[in-house]
Amino acid sequence: AIRPRPLVAGNWKMNGLVLGVNEFDAIATGVAAREVGRAEVLICPPFTLISRFAAAAAGQHIKIGAQDCHPKSSGAHTGDVSAEMVKDAGASYVIVGHSERRVCYGESDALVRSKAEAARRAGLVAIICIGETQAEREAGRTIDVVGTQLAGSLPAGATGANTVIAYEPVWAIGTGLTPTVDDVKVVHDFIRSRLVEALEGEGHELRILYGGSVKPSNAAELMAVDNVDGALVGGASLKATDFLGIAAAY
């Protein structure tokens, strides 16, 4: 099958103040100067910087996304932000079900699916995160856990145009640890087979990102793995040179 265009996405998490956004300008400039390969490049800053970055990115190739959204479009939900608001602020993507949200806020697969459905309703691409914990891996339950999360979080009728899957082993996030390329291949091949079972031919079109301690030094070997269609990058996305170095490998 023809591989989909890779996506390299940066998740800034709860980092970034107006005074310190030079890194975004440096990333956008690098993307505009084609310092990256054929990958589509996305930055997901905190909500507070989406409008500013979207304005700076207007007419450029870099995309902007959010890190979460509420399932409802509006209403009495103090402190929440809807997919429609994210879209209105100028974003085109939203991450849903990141492990930090699944762990800190007890987000269930059903909630994550409803957020992915909200993203589609608003015209955003959802990046659905799944991945096992260290204890689950050690217990030999990786495939079981990833399969359950995927089945529970993936909306019916997902397409390559509206949905991306990010496989992020929880124990690899922010730790400097990564699975072996063989382990990554096993999980990505499994996710692809489940996508094709659920969505038939369309299942080949969804990009499956790897996330968890991606750096310039390991990006190329990860990208060479079958069914790795890009990266979701946390820590290294905060430094323009590192993030551009990763994007160049995809």
Active-site positions read: 98, 168
Nearer to ligand PEP, 40 or 168 (CB): 168
How many CB atoms sit inside 10 A of residue 26's CB?
A: 15
Look up residue 72 and give its two tokens.
Answer: 């409802």
DSSP three-state, residue 32: helix
Element (H, E) at 40: strand 40-44
Q: How many CA atoms lie within 13 A of 178 on its CB side?
A: 19
Are the C-beta atoms of residues 98 and 66 closer than 8 Å to each other? no
Q: Is residue 163 close enough to count as binding ligand PEP by CB under 6 A?
A: no
| Contact residue for ligand PEP among 49, 50, 126, 173 (CB under 6 A) | 173
Asked if 213 is part of the footprint of ligand PEP (rule: CB under 6 A), the reply reads yes
Residue tagged 């507070």 (tokens): 48
Closest CA to 211 of 103, 97, 109: 97
Cβ-based nearer residue to ligand PEP, 155 or 234: 234
Nearest approach, Cβ of residue 59 and ligand PEP (Å): 28
Is residue 242 near ligand PEP by the rule CB under 6 A? no
Give the range of 104-112, 117-125, 130-138, 233-241 binding ligand PEP by CB under 6 A.
Answer: 233-241
CB nearer ligand PEP, residue 89 or residue 173: 173
Piece in contact with ligand PEP (CB under 6 A), picked from 38-46, 85-93, 206-214, 239-247: 206-214
Calculate the alpha carbon distances from 156 to 83, 86, 108, 127, 150 in Å: 18, 22, 17, 15, 12
Confirm or reject binding of residue 170 to ligand PEP (CB under 6 A): no
C-alpha dihedral (195, 139, 232, 181), degrees to nearest 10: -90
The nearer residue to ligand PEP, 14 or 17, going by C-beta atoms, is 14
227 lies in the binding site for ligand PEP (CB under 6 A): no
Binding region for ligand PEP (CB under 6 A): 11, 168, 173-174, 211-214, 232-236
